[in-house]
Amino acid sequence: MIGRYKNDSDLRNITLLLKGRSGRESRSFKYDNLDFPVRSEDNNFLPRLWASRRVGWLIEQIRLNGETKELRDEVTDLGTRYGIVTPYTSYLATDGTLTSAPRESVQFRELAKSAPAKMKDDKGSGAVRQSIQQNAMQANSMVVDGVGVDEEDRILISNSKRNQFVGAKNFFNQSNVWVDYEFSEASRLPEFKVKFASDEYFALISREKGLAQYLSLGEEVVVVWKNKVYRIVK
């Protein structure tokens, strides 16, 4: 079972009590000495695994009950953020093209027109393929990059010259700058410009060790980290 939590501060030594029903039987499970940090760099595969299962469930809801803006936007956001192949983000699997505002891109507008029809199809090979992929997402128990997997059977988008998934973040190459999908001009987060390979650059890596994996993408990187934007420039 995979879930997601959100809290404003680190929680340590927590007792978690889960209650539910299995058929007619009530069941409960107690877990002691748990930690729920605001940010953890351990097990970076888990967010992508959770997102894959969530997308599978969302696609099933769209196929069964029809598309709504909320369902469509969540599928698109999760698919783009975590590099997951969906009827709305399949262009990422082909050429990696993405603008800073994917819902405003030409690719998304075209996919948005065709995706509902694809998911409503309940006959033929297309419907079978959709069902298989949807079920595979919901039952996904591991994260692999999809190398050697047929495009039609792929769940996760492989890294490419324009798309790189590092840790728990997806980056897109925009004019030779690797830009974190979480970055948005509208967010107005405090921004810090740091010259690549400068003393300040190495001091930043030493101080914020979790950033190193993202900055290793190249000499020009824009990354959101702890509610701040770091812009690495030549």
- The pLDDT tens digits for 21-31 are 888 899 999 98
Residues of the chain falling short of pLDDT 50: 93-108, 111, 128, 141, 145-149, 151-152
- 58 and 118 both lie in a single domain: yes
Instruction: Report the pLDDT value the prediction gives residue 167, as an integer from 0 to 100.
Output: 84
> Does 76 reside within a domain?
yes
> Does 201 reside within a domain?
yes
Long-range contacts of 69-72, Cβ-Cβ distance < 8 Å, separation of 24 or more: 72/112, 72/115
> Does 50 reside within a domain?
yes
Question: What whole-number distance in Å separates Cα of residue 86 and Cα of residue 74?
Answer: 11
> Does 165 reside within a domain?
no
Instruction: Report the pLDDT value the prediction gives residue 213, as an integer from 0 to 100.
Output: 93
Tokens 């107005």 correspond to 188
- 109 and 185 both lie in a single domain: no
Q: Give one word for 197, left, alpha or beta, with left for phi > 0 and alpha for psi -120 to 50.
A: left
Instruction: Report the pLDDT value the prediction gives residue 154, as an integer from 0 to 100.
Output: 59
> Does 28 reside within a domain?
no
Domain, as residue range, for 180: 175-233
> Does 29 reside within a domain?
no
The pTM score is 0.63
Structural domain total, the chain: 2
- 142 and 181 both lie in a single domain: no
